[in-house]
Amino acid sequence: MTTGTVATSSRSLHERSSNAVARNRKDLAIRIFLYLTMATALVPLVAILAVTLVQGLGAISLDFLFENPPFNPGTEGGGYAPAIVGSIYMTGLAILLSVPLGIAAAVFLVEYKDSFLAKPVRFFTDVMTGVPSVFVGLFIFSALVVDADLFFGSLPGAAALAVLMLPIVVRSSEEVLRLVPQDLRSASSGLGARHWQTIVRVVVPAAAPGLATSSMLAVARGMGETAPLLFTALGAREIVLALNGTPQGALPLQILDEGRQALPAAVERAWAGSLTLMALVLFFTVAARLVARRSQFAD
């Protein structure tokens, strides 16, 4: 009986060690590349935040928050109270118009994806996402201000913002709802819950923090829009609480009006208005996350 030599594919420890060193070097190189890429992407954001803070923080005061802008833009002092109230007013109305409808549409696309309406809804949502905001302003101007004879005001402005916010709410909420594990739906159905009960009591509460974040993405987009408000809200220099019939102020409109003037006082107020707009978006985002988190714990 002859004994053969058993062939093995084992390698020496020295060879394995050299391969491990090479892999570690590649891993380090990729990590450095990713960190540099992330830092490069953050440079514009940090620069914008820093410049806005430096330029606008000095002009922020109680007078700026609670007074009307001066009649003469070159005059020192004055505030953005009408613009702040108008932005909050119209954004609140736009949230009421777009967020419930957008989340409902996202639930339909995820939970009833086999419906013949799912593809058309998704297609038109994608188309609306890419529509320039000035076209939305022209559409609302033609439909509400001219044809419906509503005149300029809060309601047409909120409608324009809602149209811009709606597709963002739908698409981002759809992606959030897709992340809810299918096991939760199966467990709910196994316990005898109807489909609508599973959606209302299981799927939506599980996705609540993500839905709040997606809604705030839309709010950030709508609150910073200027073009549609030029055709719908028009702007105001006094606080307006009427729903319609009187032009309404907004931070983007006031910032545009004073920022393009070569007057130091007006430009200073424009920087302060930009900082105020950023603070409002941050406030809405944090408030929505806190509400979603509390509702999730309550469930």
- Express each pLDDT in 85-140 by its tens digit: 999 999 999 999 999 999 999 999 999 999 999 999 999 999 998 899 999 999 99
Phi-psi group of 229: left, alpha or beta (phi > 0 → left; psi -120 to 50 → alpha; rest → beta): alpha
Residue 97 lies in a domain: yes
Q: Look at residue 295 in the predicted model and tell me its pLDDT.
A: 61
Helix/strand/coil (H/E/C) assignment for every residue in 247-286 = CECCHHHHHHHHHCCCCHHHHHHHHHHHHHHHHHHHHHHH
Q: Look at residue 249 in the predicted model and tell me its pLDDT.
A: 95
> How many domains, in total, are found in the chain?
1
Residue 39 lies in a domain: no
Residue 9 lies in a domain: no
Q: Look at residue 290 in the predicted model and tell me its pLDDT.
A: 79
Regions of the chain with pLDDT less than 50: 1-8
Residue 12 lies in a domain: no
CATH code, domain carrying 123: 1.10.3720.10
Residue ranges making up the domain that contains 149: 62-298
Q: Look at residue 278 in the predicted model and tell me its pLDDT.
A: 92
Residue 56 lies in a domain: no
Closest by CA position to 154, among listed 205, 85, 51: 85
Q: Look at residue 282 in the predicted model and tell me its pLDDT.
A: 87
Task: Tell me the backbone φ, ψ of residue 248, rounded to 5 degrees.
Answer: -115, 145
> What residues pair up with 248 in beta bridges, in sequence order?
234
Q: Look at residue 6 in the predicted model and tell me its pLDDT.
A: 47
pLDDT (tens digit per residue) in 211-231: 988 888 899 889 999 999 999
Residue 27 lies in a domain: no
Residue 256 lies in a domain: yes
Residue 220 lies in a domain: yes
